[in-house]
Structure 1
């Protein structure tokens, strides 16, 4: 029986022979003269580290460490951040000018951006209700038109965790139609709600993860794709020859050690505690209409229509994210949770703000 991945993959991808880089071909020997590298490193600083050799084709040690962290044996590959994962999935399974993806706005803008850049149309099935729920019935109804469905859980920029029941319903209802990609960039803030464990049951499920948020490694650029083997086989056809620099891989390996994970989880709890204190400090302000529930390291605030919170904070040196351009997020500002000291300062500034009379 033909797998869904084989059904979705364009013929051009099926015929594609992956680039055979020196590290991908592998081999053993005494003198490595097969990759046009300098044989000896050039040290540009006092750090005696050699960077003259290309890194591994796929950093298997990192993938294995991340599988252990996720408690899964599903195929896992490291990529340069979740953004590359999004781009890679669209390029693997969608044909320009022909195929479509589904998103549920308001959500992470890179899904549509990557699709637009590759001439792939975006179908938007907006989130519904005050709690930004998935319109699962409409997503399922439109799934035959698309190759990939992108779901962000917890969602950016709204901050809410998507219903597991809705995600499962979508997985059930689209098994013959589309891949369901669940972006779990913020999952460490609700780790028990990960859907990684569903991949074995639903081979149309792909999970994207990152070390940029809770692990604090945004500058290192490391994300992961977890998927069933037949899906991963096609992804690996397009993955760059050397997706992860050695210097980044070494940092990631340390972060995924037992000690590193303990540090990340402890810091995550500190962020959650700071978030709750921040919310408590501003929740009774009259011109704040709503502070949305957050399962992330940020809060989304809806203000009175006459408030200019984003500009006010900017004038005081605090840069936040104005979400007013989103139709469903009029008068909303997204604020990342920083240190306790920073959030106390921001809370004091917000409490001092008053709406100017007309």
Structure 2
């Protein structure tokens, strides 16, 4: 076992370090013509034209795994495919954190599933609030490091670009944090919106920082939210442990087939063009919103959304709803009592947002 393997396995719960998990009918690579090992139906469902759904799927579909490895420029042994990023977040907390002892560090306001998973596991939650400045919200990485060290944290979640605030966490800061917490905690960088950012992926840090893991998803830029395909990219030793603790058949076959098709060369080219359009529209919408009466601030964003603060957020929310536009109300989130998060839509949808919020048009 290498030193990196050992340092990561020391972060895993003691009772799970040798855990083999459930051996499903698809665990072993067997070959045959008549499959009678999984108590599946010998006939297809009448609604299943292809007949493939009567069989349990491969736990980690090879074609999809290879396509994702190419997409994220990593070795397939570093990939864990699951039901969206949510499953990976939950697995990480359950596998690394002993209830009541090992803590989780988060940076609110931020994606809520980190805290939900910590609470369900009984892991202490350590909150290090984002700091608002002239350039928007940022992570106080020194405070994050102190909280992790003093609070016996096993996991640090960094959302980059951060949801809902929009800022990316600098790679050099992530590297310094991982170096400081080596052997003590796993630094998990959630890059759900990474395609919309100019910053390189934190996967580029893994060769020298084995305690860095990265979350990616096909839900956002790749427009496959309903397929629920999420990926954890991490050291192979950690991936093996997580796989043993994962549900037997996490990826439905129809979803895997759709996702693999969406990662073809032609599909990826169209996705890249749409990402470029979103980035262009993000600039246009940000500038236009900033000119409207009642808009206090539009935070800069590296994601496919804008965090907008209003003099009267309740009225703005109501006007958008009256125009048939649904946005995310952030007013219950820490530090955001006046904020709404607006996803970047098509040019026509963005024009509709602007028209609904334009006081001059509303008065006409």
Shorter-normalised TM range? over 0.9
Q: Is the 8 A contact 1:200 1:228 kept in 2?
A: no
Q: Is the 8 A contact 2:157 2:187 kept in 1?
A: yes
Q: How does 1:133-144 map to 2 (within 5 A)?
A: 133-144=138-149
Q: 2:13 aligns with which of 5, 10, 14?
A: 10
Name the structure 1 match of 2:103: 100
Name the structure 2 match of 1:112: 115
Deviation at 1:305, TM superposition (A): 4.8
Deviations 1:104-146 (A, max 9, x none): 1111111001111111111001111322221111211222310
Deviation at 1:298, TM superposition (A): 0.7
Distance 2:343 2:277 in 1: 14
**Aligned pair 1:48/2:50, yes or no?**
yes
**Aligned pair 1:244/2:247, yes or no?**
no
Distance 2:326 2:89 in 1: 27
Name the structure 2 match of 1:32: 35
Name the structure 1 match of 2:232: 225
Name the structure 1 match of 2:202: 195
1:279/1:142 Cα in 2 relative to 1: closer, same or farther (>3 Å)? closer
Q: Is the 8 A contact 1:43 1:50 kept in 2?
A: no
Q: 2:126 aligns with which of 116, 123, 126?
A: 123
Name the structure 1 match of 2:26: 23
Name the structure 2 match of 1:332: 339
Q: Is the 8 A contact 2:289 2:298 kept in 1?
A: no
Deviation at 1:307, TM superposition (A): 6.1
Deviation at 1:354, TM superposition (A): 9.3
User: Does the residue aligned with 1:219 lie in a helix, a strand or coil?
Assistant: helix
**Aligned pair 1:205/2:212, yes or no?**
yes
Distance 2:347 2:362 in 1: 26
Q: Is the 8 A contact 2:85 2:217 kept in 1?
A: yes
**RMSD (Å) for aligned C-alpha atoms:** 1.9
Name the structure 2 match of 1:289: 296
- If the length of structure 1 is used for normalisation, what is the TM-score? 0.94
Deviation at 1:30, TM superposition (A): 2.0
Q: Is the 8 A contact 1:4 1:178 kept in 2?
A: no
Deviation at 1:328, TM superposition (A): 1.3
Deviation at 1:191, TM superposition (A): 5.3
Q: Is the 8 A contact 2:292 2:359 kept in 1?
A: no
Name the structure 1 match of 2:325: 318
Distance 1:247 1:152 in 2: 29
Unaligned runs of 5+ in 2: none
Q: How does 1:71-90 map to 2 (within 5 A)?
A: 71-73=73-75, 75-90=78-93
Deviation at 1:225, TM superposition (A): 0.7
User: Does the residue aligned with 1:151 lie in a helix, a strand or coil?
Assistant: strand
Deviations 1:32-54 (A, max 9, x none): 11000012312216x33431000
Distance 1:286 1:246 in 2: 50
Q: How many residues are treated as equivalent by the alignment?
A: 355
Q: 1:63 aligns with which of 62, 65, 73?
A: 65
Q: Is the 8 A contact 1:158 1:292 kept in 2?
A: yes
User: Does the residue aligned with 2:137 lie in a helix, a strand or coil?
Assistant: coil
Deviations 1:203-255 (A, max 9, x none): 10110000000000000000101001121121111111111111001111111
- If the length of structure 2 is used for normalisation, what is the TM-score? 0.93
User: Does the residue aligned with 2:213 lie in a helix, a strand or coil?
Assistant: strand
Instruction: Give structure 1 regions of 4+ aligned residues with deviation exceeding 6 angstroms.
Output: 353-356
Q: Is the 8 A contact 1:140 1:173 kept in 2?
A: yes
Q: Is the 8 A contact 2:293 2:358 kept in 1?
A: no
Name the structure 2 match of 1:261: 268
